[in-house]
Amino acid sequence: MKKQHIKLTETDERYLTTLLSKGQLPARVFRRASALLQLHQGASFQTVAQTFQIVPQTVSRWRTAYLENGLEFLDDRQRAGRPPLFDGTARAKVTALACSAAPAGRAQWSLRLLADKAVELDLCERISHSQIGVILKKINYSRI
């Protein structure tokens, strides 16, 4: 008899089976759900790892994450990192500012002028001219 690395509840097993049968899943969720079902059916860490071309430690980590968090582990956790300084509204305001008339004595806006004006208008505490360029590049703004 094969060693069962994990014992899923009937509810979790049904949920995973249903989830996999839908066909529209992110690859990470598919791999994790499939691995759990294979472990439940008695597959070894090594076998599951070979199936998904990963190392057995990853399969072990998935099993541990399931035991600690249940099916919540299928989705990625919130990752660390600096939150975005500009939300969609602020980006729209910068875009509108760039589309407005240039300041007196200027033929058109420069990235540095836009950055200074965005800070002056309290759209943000600080922003570099290169970040303004990134914002405008996303909308294919070419007048600068």
Same domain, 133 and 103: yes
Are 7 and 40 spatial neighbours (Cβ–Cβ below 8 Å)? yes
143 within some domain: no
**Residue 43, C-beta contacts closer than 8 angstroms, at least 6 positions apart:** 2, 5, 51
Between the CA of residue 70 and those of 5, 8, 14, 64, what are the distances in Å? 15, 10, 14, 9
Q: Is residue 2, in this structure, part of any structural domain at all? A: no
What's the start-to-end Cα distance of the chain, in Å?
71
Reading the chain (144 residues) residue by residue, the pLDDT tens digits are 456 678 888 999 999 999 889 878 888 999 999 999 999 998 989 999 999 999 999 999 999 999 998 888 888 777 788 877 778 888 888 888 888 898 889 988 999 999 999 899 888 888 899 999 888 888 877 665
- Domain membership of residue 82 (yes or no) is no
State the Rg of the chain over Cα: 25
Query: Is the residue at 81 inside a domain?
Result: no
Q: Are residues 34 and 70 in the same domain?
A: yes
pTM score of the predicted model:
0.56
The answer to whether residues 60 and 98 belong to one domain is no
Its domain, for residue 128, covers 88-137
Q: Note whether residue 120 is domain-resident.
A: yes
